[in-house]
Amino acid sequence: MAIDPTDPRSPSRQIADELREEITSGRLAPGDALPSEKMLVGRFGTAPATARQAVRLLKEEGLVVAERGKGVYVKRQPPTIRLGSHRFSRQTRAEGKSAFEAEIERQGLEWGQEVLELAEVPAPEWVAEWLGVDAGATVFVRRRRNLVGDTPTQLADSYYRLDTVEDTAIRTPDTGPGGSYARLEEKGLTLERFREEIRIRMPTPTEVQGLRLTPGTPVAELRRIAFGASGPLEVLESVVSGDSHVFCYEFAAPE
């Protein structure tokens, strides 16, 4: 219960390990408050800063969240959003839903989107390469933020060649039923296959703010390229909060 000075672990580690054990064992359930800093000082007999250090370790592990003026709580698991390879089905678009929208509603959650920016910009290097345009060429970008309930979960930037989105609702705030993929197919640009890459990292401060992330929450960076018959149609970069998403893929055994 108290600090063991003969233990090779530092006092703050001992406190953190003790608290972590209480969390993983379930004695402290999600939503429960951790003992306050002062209680920890009383219980373990250390200086306040040492107790703080212990709590900080747990925050870095993503096990607990601090709420200003209230206390430190065991993190609750937010509802898990499944992002699967089946979400780009043409049938879904025919029903007037975008890929993301369909995925959320399938799970009985509320959906929302904010368009942050519609602009013509010079293509970032990897976008140019994937879209098959010259480095620095002008492309059209749709930046938006997806919400589940009222919490933002994704920042998504879609890039298009200018001729691809010419005279389409993709250039306007509301892309209409079925989303931008439906608009492309209306134009005769059939989506044939997709390629996705997932990278994992800690968020930048901007992303922490934009996604309302708690400290200790990593993010996934998803890059997708959508191919039509004649080449790439859309390149997407999306940053999604790690604690509320699962990526799912199914595929046949290749030869």
The binding site for DNA (CB under 7 A) comprises 10-13, 34, 36-39, 46-50, 52-53, 55, 66-72
User: Cα separation of 179 and 160, whole Å?
Assistant: 14
CB of 173 to a second copy, least distance (A): 26
Number of residues that bind a second copy (CB under 8 A): 45
Binder of residue 247, out of a second copy, DNA, none (CB less than 5 to 8 A by kind): a second copy
199 binds a second copy (CB under 8 A): yes
- Longest CA span, the chain: 73
CB of 8 to a second copy, least distance (A): 14
201 binds a second copy (CB under 8 A): yes
Binder of residue 152, out of DNA, a second copy, none (CB less than 5 to 8 A by kind): none
CB of 32 to a second copy, least distance (A): 20
111 binds a second copy (CB under 8 A): no
CB of 131 to a second copy, least distance (A): 17
143 binds a second copy (CB under 8 A): no
Q: Which is nearer to a second copy, 105 or 196 (CB)?
A: 196
Binder of residue 50, out of a second copy, DNA, none (CB less than 5 to 8 A by kind): DNA
Cβ atoms of 26 and 68 within 8 Å: the answer is: no
Q: Which is nearer to DNA, 10 or 209 (CB)?
A: 10
Write the DSSP assignment of 77-141 as a string of letters: PPPPEEEEGGGG-HHHHHTT--HHHHHHHHTT--EEEEEEEEEEEEPPHHHHHHHT--TT-EEEE
Instruction: List beta partners, residue 118.
Output: 142
76 binds a second copy (CB under 8 A): no
The amino acid at 98 = S
Q: Which is nearer to DNA, 11 or 232 (CB)?
A: 11
Long-range contacts formed by 38-46: CB under 8 A, 24+ apart: 40/15, 43/1, 43/2, 44/1, 44/2, 44/3, 44/11, 44/14, 44/15, 45/2, 45/3, 46/3, 46/11, 46/12, 46/15
Instruction: Record the tokens describing residue 214, joined without a space.
Output: 């708690």
User: Cα separation of 180 and 235, whole Å?
Assistant: 12
Q: Compute CA 7 distance to the chain's CA centroid, rounded to the nearest angstrom.
A: 39
Binder of residue 248, out of DNA, a second copy, none (CB less than 5 to 8 A by kind): a second copy
Q: Which is nearer to a second copy, 177 or 215 (CB)?
A: 215
229 binds a second copy (CB under 8 A): no
